[in-house]
Every structure is written in structure tokens, then in C-alpha cells.
Amino acid sequence: MNHSNFTFNNINSNIKEIIRNYQKSSLPKSIWQLSSNLIAYILLWAAMYLSLDISYWLTLLLAVPAAFMVVRIFIIQHDCGHGSFFKSRDANDLWGVICSLFTLTPYHYWKQGHSIHHASAGNLEARGIGDIYTMTVSEYLSSSKWERFKYRIYRNPVVLFLVIPTILFVILYRFPIARSKSLKPTYPSIYYTNLILGGIFVLTGLTLGFTEVLMIQLPVTFISSTAGVWLFYVQHQFEETYWANDEAWNFTLSALQGSSYFKLPKILQWATGNIGYHHIHHLSPKIPNYHLEKCHKENPVFQQAVTLTLLTSFKTMFLSLWEENQKKLVSFRYLKKFRANHEGGI
């Protein structure tokens, strides 16, 4: 893991001008990415249905590429939510809604929550919406036993990465779980998304069989949601990430220090829609996903970001608490050392 050393002194003063060069969407690239992903997913879904008569193991094997097509469709939806995929706002919202039916995500509700995440990532006073909730060491130690127990269950890797993702996309996104005044106007998107998804499920179930539909869709949703949550997690939850109190919080440092560069093998970079260049994305959400790699490679300033590989990313899964004094994420094991130091008067 390479550690970031961004400071105000070494951030290029022309950084806004640099990123502006990559913010223009390309209609041919957008149309190709959108059409190829949707067609590929539909064909894979059809192949999974046909494979049911051959072997369910083959069905599950096909679920892997199908799930990553869902991840790529989510990235398109994500870009539409930022207004970066097409020049037209209406086109972004239209195709964002269509993509959301493949990702099981209420588009406008998610879009607003995600904008809150971008506006406050790394702000200790603005946790709880559009992020993976993280307690500080002092908050954890001052909490009740029940609160500590719930937090430990929540941050358990099995629960966080294998249980919660499917529950989030299948169940929790069917309801307005994030209580915020700014999200209230987007609640209708939850209900019309549910209505359309319910209609699709009934139609396909009556046509192909409800059991067959579930045998296909559930493994795809499990894999894609798990991959999506993992991607989001490792790109913010690494040891030397960025958190600051409201008065000291800085947007640029939050983007460049609080978001990682997830350096993946080319096939996985493609499968995850270049979202590994997350530090650049947080600095400028207006850059479409297909320009992120170019922006990273052409500008050395962005190559200073914390770099995670597939192997080193697994080391982050046990980092669960923010240590405000040392300004880094720590595991629950750190608490023994913390208590020993404080009980010893250190």
C-alpha cells in the first residue's frame, strides 16, 4: 500500500484547469458503453435461463460475468447521477432511471444521497448518509455495551460484505431508510421503482417461472451487490484515509487523501468501470468513467494517491474505527493497546 503525501503545497495550483480537460462526455463512447453493457447483460441473463436445463453449476458460472455487467451498468447509472455521462440532464436522468431497474436502485433517491456523500466524505460531523458508517475510538469506548455489540456485528466482514449488500439492494432500497429532509422529495422514486420492478418480476415470473427467475436473479444480485459494496468500502476505508472535523475539513484533501486509487488487473478494471480511479472521481464527479484512466496517467499529481491492489485491499477489511489522535483507521484489536496506554497514564 502506497501512502498519500498530498499537501496544499504540492497540489498543482492549476488542478481545476487540469480536470476541466477531461470533463467533456463523448456521445459515441457513452452510446457504445450503454448499449454494449445492456445487450451483454440481457444475453447473459438469457444464457443463464437456457443453462438451467443443462446444469445449475453452469448457471452460477454465468452469474459471475452477468453480475459484473450489472456493476458496469451501475457505473453508468452513477455517471448519469453526476450528470457526466451525457451532456443533456434529461438524457442522464432518463438513462439513469432505466439503468436503475437493472441495479435494483431507486435512481433519484440514490442520486441525492450520493451527492451528500460527495459533499461531505471524510467530514466527521456529516457521517451517516451515503457512506459506510464509521465510529471513532472515543465514540466507541463511550458507547453502551449494546451499541458496541451492534457496531461490531455491523463491521464484521462476513456481515458487511456478504450479508448486508444483498439486503441493501433487495430489501432496504425498497424503503426510505435514510432520514433526511433533502432526501424526502426523492421518495417517489423509491415507490415507482418498486412498482416497475414488481411488474417486471411478475411478468417474467409468469412467462419463465418464478422459481427460475429467482434462481437466476439472486446469485447475480448477490455477486454484484457484494462487489459494489466492496469497491465502495476499500476506496474510502484504508488505514491512512482522511477524516476531519467540520471546521478543518477540506474538499480537495478529502478527495485526494480520502479516496484511494484501486489498481486492478485490466479485466477487473474494465469490469468495474474504472471506478478504481476514485480519487479523481471524488475530485471531479463530472469526469465520465471512460476518461478517468487517461486523467490519472497524464497527470503525475494524481499518481500520489494511496494505491491499493487486489491483494492489499483485503488488509483493509478489519479497519473499523477512526483513531483521531493518530489520524488513521484501526482495527478492534487496537483497543487493547489504547486501553493499556490510557490506564497506564500515557
Residue range 21-30: average pLDDT? 96
Tell me, yes or no, whether 8 lies in a domain: no
pLDDT digits (tens, 9 = 90+) for 196-213: 999 999 999 999 999 999
Has residue 224 got a pLDDT over 80?
A: yes
Tell me, yes or no, whether 220 lies in a domain: yes
What is the pLDDT at residue 59?
98
Tell me, yes or no, whether 61 lies in a domain: yes
Tell me, yes or no, whether 4 lies in a domain: no
Tell me, yes or no, whether 9 lies in a domain: no
What is the pLDDT at residue 340?
63
Q: What pLDDT band is residue 89 in, cutting at 50, 70 and 90?
A: very high
What is the pLDDT at residue 8?
44
What is the pLDDT at residue 18?
87
CA distance 346 to 102: 54
Q: What pLDDT band is residue 9 in, cutting at 50, 70 and 90?
A: very low
Facing residues of 125 across strands?
A: none
Tell me, yes or no, whether 328 lies in a domain: yes
CA distance 136 to 122: 12
| pTM of the predicted structure, to 2 decimals | 0.91
Q: What pLDDT band is residue 16 in, cutting at 50, 70 and 90?
A: confident
What is the pLDDT at residue 342?
60
pLDDT digits (tens, 9 = 90+) for 225-261: 999 999 999 999 999 999 999 888 988 889 999 999 9
Instruction: Share the mean pLDDT of the chain.
Output: 92
Q: How many domains does the chain have?
A: 1
Tell me, yes or no, whether 163 lies in a domain: yes
- Name the one residue in this structure whose C-alpha cell is 443443462: 54
pLDDT digits (tens, 9 = 90+) for 102-153: 999 999 999 999 999 999 999 999 887 888 999 999 999 999 999 999 999 9
Give the domain extent around 107.
15-343
Tell me, yes or no, whether 210 lies in a domain: yes
